[in-house]
């Protein structure tokens, strides 16, 4: 397969994929394509769409690749699609951050960090597919364990959870009067 044909096939695969497409998925769709050839094709596509007047670019997100609208085109696209951006309350963002940084954890764990009951907020985050149920904790009552989803990575344009800022860097950014969470003084046992 020649280089231009490979690039066009990779472009088409990414374009039709509903979610970020991984290199493994691309390889399974094509015969006799090496990993290095595939990565070279992705680099060429990134370069081609990164310059010029294209309205989209190729983004590495959630462990795969996806075409995204360039920021300067977003207002026009939003107006046309009449799409309202997803708005999240401070409580939802706080709960989502707790789940992202401390997963897997139970609702009781979230409540303990926030200092308030979180059932309703966890349900809303489940409905938005930003978190998911990972299983149950093997303790009396068998509470559900929560964690983030690939949609969470996609929503926040993250390659993986390791792309989240560290808690230490967040603590440096916050003011001393405003805690990161309702209960911002966790013991070492609670953190691990």
Structure token digits, residue 168: 């230490």
| Domains and their CATH numbers in the chain | 3-81 (1.10.10.10), 90-191 (1.10.10.10)
Amino acid 179: pLDDT: 53
Amino acid 93: pLDDT: 92
Amino acid 175: pLDDT: 54
User: N- to C-terminal Cα distance for the chain?
Assistant: 50
Give the start-end residues of each E strand in the chain: 56-61, 64-69, 131-136, 144-148
Amino acid 75: pLDDT: 81
- Pinpoint the alpha helices (H) of 115-180: 119-127, 150-155, 167-173
The model's pLDDT over 128-184, given as tens digits with 9 standing for 90+, comes to: 999 999 999 999 999 999 999 999 998 888 888 888 888 777 777 665 554 555 444
Residues of the chain falling short of pLDDT 70:
1, 82-85, 173-192
**H or E segment and range at residue 16:** helix 3-16
Amino acid 85: pLDDT: 65
């Amino acid at each position: 397969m020649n280089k231009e044909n490979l690039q066009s096939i990779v472009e088409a695969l990414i374009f039709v994929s509903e979610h970020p497409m991984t290199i493994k998925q691309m390889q399974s769709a094509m015969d006799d394509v090496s990993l290095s050839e595939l990565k070279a094709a992705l680099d060429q596509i990134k370069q081609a769409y990164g310059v010029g007047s294209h309205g989209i670019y190729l983004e590495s997100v959630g462990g795969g690749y996806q075409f995204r609208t360039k920021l300067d085109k977003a207002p026009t696209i939003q107006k046309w699609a009449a799409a309202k951006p997803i708005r999240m309350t401070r409580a939802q963002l706080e709960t989502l951050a707790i789940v992202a940084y401390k997963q897997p954890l139970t609702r009781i764990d979230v409540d303990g960090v926030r200092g308030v009951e979180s059932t309703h907020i966890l349900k809303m985050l489940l409905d938005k597919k930003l978190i998911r149920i990972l299983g149950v904790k093997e303790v009396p009552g068998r509470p559900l364990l929560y964690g983030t989803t690939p949609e969470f990575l996609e929503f926040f344009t993250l390659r993986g959870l390791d792309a989240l800022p560290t808690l230490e860097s967040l603590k440096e950014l916050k003011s001393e009067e405003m805690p990161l969470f309702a209960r911002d003084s966790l013991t070492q046992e609670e953190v691990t």
